[in-house]
Amino acid sequence: MTPPEQSRRNERAEGILDLLGMLAYATLSAFFRLSDDAALAESLPDKIALADMAVVQYGQYRRVLERLRELDADPGVTMEPFVLAIDDFHASTVPADWLEGLIKAYVGDGIAADFYRAIAAKLDPPIEELVLEVLADTGYSEFAVARVRQAIKADPQVAGRLALWARRLVGEALSQAQRVAAEREPLARLLAGGDASSREVGRMFASLTDQHTERMTTLGLTGYSATG
Which of 109, 181, 119 is CA-nearest to residue 141?
109
| Per-residue pLDDT at 90 exceeds 50 | yes
Long-range CB contacts for residues 164-170, cutoff 8 Å, separation at least 24: 164/226, 165/95, 165/100, 165/103, 165/104, 166/103, 166/107, 166/216, 166/219, 166/221, 168/93, 169/93, 169/103, 169/104, 169/107, 169/108, 169/111, 170/107, 170/111, 170/209, 170/212
* Between residues 190 and 216, the one the model is more confident about: 216
Phi (first) and psi of residue 189, to 5 degrees: -70, -35
Q: Three-state SS for 227?
A: coil
Express each pLDDT in 105-130 by its tens digit: 888 888 888 888 888 888 888 999 99
Share of the chain above pLDDT 90, in %: 38
Check: CB of residue 189 under 8 Å from CB of residue 7.
no
- Domains and their CATH numbers in the chain: 3-219 (1.20.1260.10)
Give the largest CA-CA distance in the chain.
66
Lowest-pLDDT range, 7-11, 123-127, 165-169? 7-11
- Average pLDDT for 149-168: 92
Q: Is the pLDDT of residue 47 over 50?
A: yes
How does the average pLDDT of the chain come out, rounded? 86
pLDDT band of 193, cuts 50, 70, 90:
low
Question: Band of the pLDDT at 50, cuts 50, 70, 90?
Answer: confident
- Report the alpha-carbon angle 152-146-92, nearest 5: 75
Does residue 228 surpass a pLDDT of 70? no
pTM: predicted TM-score of the whole model, two decimal places: 0.85
> How much is the pLDDT for 146?
93
Predicted pLDDT at 98: 84
Q: Report, as an integer, the average pLDDT of 36-48.
A: 87
**Mean of the pLDDT values across residues 124-153?**
89
End-to-end CA distance of the chain: 62
Residue from 66, 89, 220, 80 nearest 149 by CA:
220
